[in-house]
């Protein structure tokens, strides 16, 4: 049995801890916050979006770039930064927008998402967690005939990848999800993926950590900011906490989201935070059951137990960001302009965090350049959807290194 420290108790770190425990290792899961999911995983869009984890860098976003740069795009924002890491990240993001590269990136994400979909039932057999999990399916709105017709190619491509997905015209879509009758605008149809799920990542992580502590050799340690790594003979063999305590181990997994301070000495420029907002509000009788995505305004709606979780906005700006009340208010107005029924926007909890995005949208999973240090970082807009597949991959690399 080997000892591993997993830094970061968001969905990625917790899933990694599960895989390492299952492989027979002793795990210390540490986080600088006072409990699990203090970062991006806390109140994200809640969607296990197995059929729709398309890379952010795409020909479509390239087409929107002029209006984004002029501040006219309802969903995306860019504030240029005089930071060489920003410029390097931005340049590589643009290179990833070509149709071929973007499709390959989406393909890689779909495969990792499919691994999560396969692993989740095993996990729930072992730990019957209560996290408002359901499989209501997902509808992506096509606003006009052109968008509906363009979606045909994407749907065919995904079907060829074995994904259950189809197009429905408006009448069929309203039969699947009656709440669409209250959608404010005209729309031509939807892309419908019935296997997509939702679940509360915070409850999932909290429950899974308790289960792992009871069944395996897992210890969780909070309010524990790791400030550096202990190296011996060029290998990472421990971590140092802000209070100068150390924890020695056989290896460390970095699952720190967009916080890449521990990689800073290595000129790490592969992840940039892309800020978003969510709000959670009680569901009323006519709230949606299925998840609904409005791609133009990049707003996603998910029914989470007796609440509706709504998420959106993608702002690429400073590395150190904060909750922008004016931006949040605009997001709320956009939400109100999409659905005027189903929830009460006067009674909601607002939240903001950032997606840890790589230029390609593909996460960085596996060995680092330093022996003993493994990375599970950069899951962008789909970390919840990718978490189990990604954890399985990093655990398998660790197992290979132990052979
Ligand atoms: C608005 C919004 C909506 C989203 N909606 C969805 C969705 O519907 N579906 C989906 O799949 N994904 C969604 N995402 C993306 C998803 O939330 C992220 O990809 C995912 O949460 C990343 O998880 P993580 O564990 O890598 O990061 P985090 O959850 O941020 O966890 C990293 C943890 O590391 C800790 N940490 C960092 N540095 C240190 C250190 N030095 N010492 C100790 N601890 C440290 C932090 O405290 C933090 O708790 C959304 C994101 C946003 C912002």
Assess if residue 183 is contained within a domain: no
Residue 132, domain CATH: 3.50.50.60
Nearest ligand 1 atom to alpha carbon 378: 26
In the predicted model, residues of the chain with pLDDT beneath 70 are: 264-267
151 domain-assigned: no
What pLDDT shows up at residue 123? 98
Atom of ligand 1 nearest to the CA of 31: 44
In a domain, 335, yes or no: yes
pLDDT at position 265:
66
Number of separate domains in the chain: 1
Is 0.95 surpassed by the pTM of this model?
Answer: yes
Two tokens, residue 322: 């904060």
Q: Which atom of ligand 1 is nearest to the CA of 383?
A: 19
Per-residue pLDDT at 269: 84
Residue 201 CA to ligand 1 center (angstroms) comes to 10
Q: How far is the CA of 176 from the centre of ligand 1 (A)?
A: 32
In a domain, 176, yes or no: no
Residue 276 half-sphere exposure toward CB, CA atoms < 13 A: 28
The pLDDT of residue 398 is 98
Domain extent for 39: 3-137+195-402
29 C-beta closer than 6 A to ligand 1: no
Kindly give the interhelix angle for 99-126 and 201-215, rounded to the nearest 10 degrees: 50
Q: Name the residue at shortest CA distance from atom 37 of ligand 1.
A: 256
Pocket flag, ligand 1, residue 223 (CB < 6 Å): no
- Tell me the CA distances in angstroms from 176 to 137, 138, 310, one per residue in order: 10, 10, 20
**Substitution candidate for ligand 1 out of 6, 39, 55, 380 with most atoms within 8 A of CB:** 39
Domain membership of residue 170 (yes or no) is no
* C-alpha span between 145 and 325 (Å, rounded): 36
What is the best residue among 6, 10, 270, 310 to mutate for testing ligand 1's pocket, by most ligand atoms within 8 Å of CB?
10
How far does residue 40's CA lie from ligand 1's centre (Å)?
3
131 with 204: CB under 8 angstroms?
Answer: yes
Output the pLDDT for position 266.
60
Residue 336 inside a domain? The answer is yes
343 and 287 in contact (C-beta within 8 Å)?
yes
| Residue 212 lies inside a defined structural domain of this protein | yes
- Give distance in angstroms: CA of 150 to centre of ligand 1: 32
Taking the centre of ligand 1 as the mean of its atom positions, its distance from the CA of residue 341, in whole angstroms, is: 30
Q: Is 234 inside a domain boundary?
A: yes
């Amino acid at each position: 049995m080997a000892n591993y420290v997993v830094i970061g108790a968001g969905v990625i770190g917790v899933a990694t801890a599960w895989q390492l425990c299952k492989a027979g290792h002793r795990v210390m899961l540490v986080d600088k916050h006072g409990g699990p999911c203090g970062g991006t995983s806390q109140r994200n869009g809640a969607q296990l979006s197995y059929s729709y984890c398309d890379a952010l860098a795409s020909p479509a976003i390239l087409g929107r770039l002029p209006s984004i740069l002029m501040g006219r795009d309802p969903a995306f924002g860019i504030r240029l930064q005089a930071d060489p890491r920003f410029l390097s990240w931005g340049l590589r993001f643009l290179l990833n927008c070509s149709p071929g590269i973007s499709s390959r990136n989406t393909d890689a994400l779909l495969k990792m998402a499919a691994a999560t979909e396969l692993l989740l039932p095993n996990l729930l057999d072992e730990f019957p967690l209560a996290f408002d999990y359901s499989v209501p399916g997902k509808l992506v709105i096509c606003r006009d005939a052109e968008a509906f017709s363009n979606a045909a190619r994407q749907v065919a491509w995904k079907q060829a990848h074995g994904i259950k997905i189809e197009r429905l015209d408006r009448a069929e879509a309203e039969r699947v999800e009656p709440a669409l009758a209250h959608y404010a605008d005209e729309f031509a149809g939807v892309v419908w993926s019935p296997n997509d799920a939702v679940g509360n990542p915070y409850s999932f992580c909290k429950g899974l950590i308790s289960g792992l502590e009871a069944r395996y050799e897992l210890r969780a340690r909070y309010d524990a900011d790791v400030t550096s790594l202990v190296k011996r003979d060029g290998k990472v063999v421990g971590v140092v906490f802000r209070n100068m305590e150390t924890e020695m181990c056989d290896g460390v997994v970095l699952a720190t989201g967009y916080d890449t301070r521990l990689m800073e000495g290595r000129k790490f420029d592969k992840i940039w935070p892309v800020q978003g907002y969510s709000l959670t509000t009680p569901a009323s009788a006519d709230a949606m059951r299925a998840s609904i995505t409005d791609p133009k305004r990049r707003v996603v709606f998910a029914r989470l137990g007796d609440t509706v979780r709504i998420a959106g906005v993608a702002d690429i700006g400073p590395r150190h960001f904060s909750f922008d009340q004016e931006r949040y208010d605009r997001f709320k107005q956009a939400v109100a302009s999409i659905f005027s029924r189903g929830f009460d926007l006067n009674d909601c909890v607002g939240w903001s965090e950032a997606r840890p995005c790589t230029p390609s949208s593909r996460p960085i999973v596996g060995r680092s350049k330093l022996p003993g240090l493994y990375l599970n970082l950069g899951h962008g807009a789909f970390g919840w959807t990718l978490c189990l597949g990604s954890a399985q991959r990093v655990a398998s690399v660790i197992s290979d290194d132990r052979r």
